[in-house]
Structure 1
């Protein structure tokens, strides 16, 4: 095993929602993500992709719907809707697993307002990450499907390479 692994790229994140059509529309209209595969139905163990999906997911899900979207920096958002998907994602930041997604927008307040105006919720105030430097802003919101969406005014490396906890 090598002493240091080379940094892999992040290809996509998979998220389960209760209404995939509404989610595709929301992520397109609010966050500007581009649909690259419109919602399609997959039946577990039906054909090659159905068998692949059942094996990868790990159970016979009956049928599900799946869609793919691209972000501005080419990281994918893969959306799933299962027949049993109801309600919104549980918000428990202490539980192991995915806690939130983070998007970048130079106008944090404006995007947070747009999220709340379209069925989401702003969870925190807009904060200066570095007091006295209003170019480094962040807030937490929740989309209409219960997924926590953090908004940063700057890119990840730019933001965190300047941090001193």
Structure 2
């Protein structure tokens, strides 16, 4: 028995339409499916009695359905039984982040800033480790989720393409 693959990463958001717009417009993801979960199995699955959800599934740019999933990011809005907002610094146990590879970190950061979202730090050059030579930054989406942007250096990009 083994894990067969990654299905998706789910993020709870306060406003599904706003979140879908932001992830598609600012990061370039594409919406592939939307649905409502207002049934007993969903309430049991999430462990929130009375919950009803709106869900959008987003794919990475250029990504079609790839087994085992058609999408990489799932955005979830609780339309009944919403919770509160949490803010967790990256060093808190249980904190998480979602990382994206980009081809032009400065351009994506400019879109992030112009969208009203906040960079946690400007892009920094990675000076050690497997991504040495790349550039990276952390930011917060409109709901406060921590995201990472990584622009690979030439050596790492070539290795991942099988050219090194």
Counterparts of residues 7-22 of structure 1 (less than 5 Å): 8-22=4-18
How far does the alpha carbon of each residue in 1:107-158 deviate from its partner, in whole angstroms, 9 at most, with x for none?
1121111111102111112111027x99511011111111111100029xx4
The reply to whether residue 116 of structure 1 matches residue 105 of structure 2 is: no
Equivalent residues of 1:14, 1:78 under 8 A apart: yes
- Once superposed, what is the RMSD of the aligned Cα atoms? 2.8
- What TM-score comes out, normalization by structure 2 length? 0.75
Residue 91 of structure 2 aligns with which residue? 94
CA distance in 2, matches of 1:110, 1:24: 20
Residue 42 of structure 1 aligns with which residue? 37
Q: Structure 1: 5+ residue runs without aligned partners?
A: 44-49
How far does the alpha carbon of each residue in 1:89-115 deviate from its partner, in whole angstroms, 9 at most, with x for none?
523323333421111112112111111
Counterparts of residues 1-165 of structure 1 (less than 5 Å): 8-38=4-34, 40-43=35-38, 50-72=39-61, 73=63, 75-82=71-78, 83-85=80-82, 88-130=85-127, 135-154=133-152, 158=156
Equivalent residues of 2:52, 2:81 under 8 A apart: no
- What TM-score comes out, normalization by structure 1 length? 0.75
